[in-house]
A and B are shown apart, each in its own frame.
Chain A
Amino acid sequence: MPFIPHTEDEVEAMLGEIGAKSIDDLFDEIPRDLLIEDLHGVPDALSEQEISRLMRRRAARDRGALCFIGAGAYEHHIPAVVWDLATRGEFYSAYTPYQAEASQGTLQTIYEYQTMMTSLTGMDVSNASLYDGATSLAEAALMSVRANRKSKSRRVLLSAGVNHMYQKVATAIAGSQNLTFERLPLDTSTGSSDLSSLDKDSNAPVAVVIQQPSFLGTYEQVDKLTDWAHANGALVIAIVNPTTLSVLTAPGDWGEAGADIACGEGQPLGIPLSSGGPYFGIMASKEAIVRQMPGRIVGRTTDLDGNPGFTLTLQAREQHIRRSKATSNICTNQGLMVTAATIYMSLLGPAGLRRVALTSQQQTAKLVALLTEIEGVDAAFSAPHFHEAVVRLDRPVGPVLEALAERGVLGGHDLSKSFPELGNALLVCATETKTDEDLEAYAGALRDVLGT
């Protein structure tokens, strides 16, 4: 669609027609004291040549290092064909088009994506994606309140290993609607939620959020937590890593009745790390509560002549119709990211995705074995881990990571701020992109840094 800006004459004519002097007049209901005259701290514009030089210099700093950081975003191999196809002109538009049904190919891609996500999560329905993993939790929490009207609670209970960044974002978005987020205590020997306090919990929450595998790479007792939540009138929200779902039990099969909503970060499915975004959020649910699900859903139907076709469905609660009463007003779907993820999943298939998950697990386990051979490095938990794991150092983690970075190794995520109860804890991850030589290189660098 061509972008043709209005000419000055056209703007003048339109302003004249409605009796406004300038475009700024149209915004005069914004209180003066909220307007900013200039943007302090934003530097002057750079020329194309200058900005290219700056970005190249910054990008070079990211290149070459061996990355062992997971913590919510994962470096997986992305077959070249994924982005070769996704960036074709036919797909290269960030949004579902406003005249949606005119773009049958775009709608079919989203429909295929939804089918894949429901198959991975074991849920009945999926939306066309959300902004990212953290906002997907905020949306899931708000959805659980709409769907669980019998509960008078506005308290959301989180498993101990929910990503702290997700909790912060969810609090920022849903806190203004009086939702509070509380965590179960962490059992520091197993790295999983301590469930002993549940029986004393007299104030049942509106929803229980379970991240599996946890942010720490450990397993939660999902069946027990799911059944406890349902017995206490709460809905269950699963935060999942889609790659691991090719191996682990799908949220739809947790406990007696399954989780009610599954959400999470879609980045592992063919999206590069690219300094933190753009990524995309996953959201799937049981059919019974689909009308409370935010965002777009594509359905398959037949036209008047009986030909199969695709259409946006369940739009009546979206913001362009329901305005301030919409199920969400940040229900951005990440069309381009979803296109890439759909191509990635179709290339790999269930067996390929499983191979990615198992190889990542195998390499992480090998890495932990190598690292814990070093004096001053121990496995943090007695319990099994999946896809990533926590090791404990005999000294503060920050300086060690800096020294590793100087040796070309990004050694993991420092947990000492988010999980201080774990001491000098380091979260490490090795995906299928790391060879045995890479693991040896990390161990060698760490030995060097620790002086052992």
Chain B
Amino acid sequence: MSELPGDLTYTNEHEWLRQEEDGTVTIGITDHAQSALGDLVYVELPEVGQDVDGGGEMAVVESVKAASDVYAPISGEVVAVNEALSDDPEKINADPYGDGWIVRLRPSGDDGETMSPDEYQTFLDELED
């Protein structure tokens, strides 16, 4: 099982969130998610400046076998998207917690429900049972 970075929080939709110092939140999908999807071939990104609702669709990641929605874990305004994924979607496979980040949001309301690394690990263990 891969390491879960300790400075991130996680959702049951297999996304991770990193609180940045400027108040924005960077979001990506977890190592578990990228490994379940397989080789990614395309990422559909939202528009910068777009508002997203917590729980709503934010992006689509597409592998050779499935196209899956990435849901916004929190509400907010999209302040940046990882344009590099348009040409290199496999960055998500290679480095899901680093170069494979997807979206940066400026939160507009309450935090959504997230899990600590330990809680997410327990969640993953239960999925496997």
Chain A residues proximal to chain B, CB less than 8 Å: 149-150, 291, 316-317, 321-322, 325
Establish whether residues B67 and A317, one from each chain, have CB atoms under 8 Å apart when the complex forms.
yes
> Could you jot down 19 A-B contacts, CB within 8 Å?
A149-B47, A150-B47, A291-B42, A291-B44, A291-B62, A316-B41, A316-B64, A316-B65, A316-B66, A316-B67, A317-B62, A317-B67, A321-B65, A321-B66, A321-B67, A322-B66, A322-B67, A325-B67, A325-B69
B97 to chain A, nearest CB (A): 24
B12-63 interface with A by 8 A CB criterion: 41-42, 44, 47, 62-63
Known: A291-B42, A325-B69. A316 touches B47 (CB 8 A): no
A316-B41, A325-B67 known, 16 other contacts, Cβ within 8 Å: A149-B47, A150-B47, A291-B42, A291-B44, A291-B62, A316-B62, A316-B63, A316-B64, A316-B65, A316-B67, A317-B62, A317-B67, A321-B66, A322-B66, A322-B67, A325-B69
Residues of chain A lying within 8 A (CB to CB) of residue B44 = 291
* Bound-state Cα–Cα, A360 to B8, Å: 69
* Bound-state Cα–Cα, A322 to B63, Å: 12
B123 to chain A, nearest CB (A): 24
Closest to A291 in B: B42
* Bound-state Cα–Cα, A291 to B44, Å: 9
Closest 6 pairs between A and B when the two form their complex, measured CB to CB: A316-B67, A316-B62, A317-B67, A316-B66, A322-B67, A321-B66
Residues of chain A lying within 8 A (CB to CB) of residue B63 = 316
A241 to chain B, nearest CB (A): 33
Residues of chain B lying within 8 A (CB to CB) of residue A325 = 67, 69
- What is the 8 Å Cβ interface bit string for chain B, positions 102-119, against chain A (1 contact, 0 not)? 000000000000000000
* Bound-state Cα–Cα, A150 to B46, Å: 10
Most buried by B among A316, A321, A325: A316
Residues of chain A lying within 8 A (CB to CB) of residue B65 = 316, 321
* Bound-state Cα–Cα, A322 to B65, Å: 10
* Bound-state Cα–Cα, A150 to B67, Å: 21
Closest to A326 in B: B67
Closest to B42 in A: A291
Most buried by A among B41, B42, B63, B67: B67
Residues of chain B lying within 8 A (CB to CB) of residue A316 = 41, 62-67
B58 to chain A, nearest CB (A): 13
A319 to chain B, nearest CB (A): 12
* Bound-state Cα–Cα, A291 to B47, Å: 17
Residues of chain A lying within 8 A (CB to CB) of residue B67 = 316-317, 321-322, 325
Closest to B44 in A: A291
B58-115 interface with A by 8 A CB criterion: 62-67, 69
Residues of chain B lying within 8 A (CB to CB) of residue A321 = 65-67
Residues of chain A lying within 8 A (CB to CB) of residue B69 = 325
Closest to B69 in A: A325
Closest to B37 in A: A316
A317 to chain B, nearest CB (A): 5
Residues of chain A lying within 8 A (CB to CB) of residue B47 = 149-150
Residues of chain B lying within 8 A (CB to CB) of residue A317 = 62, 67
* Bound-state Cα–Cα, A406 to B101, Å: 72
B121 to chain A, nearest CB (A): 29
Closest to B50 in A: A149
Closest to A317 in B: B67
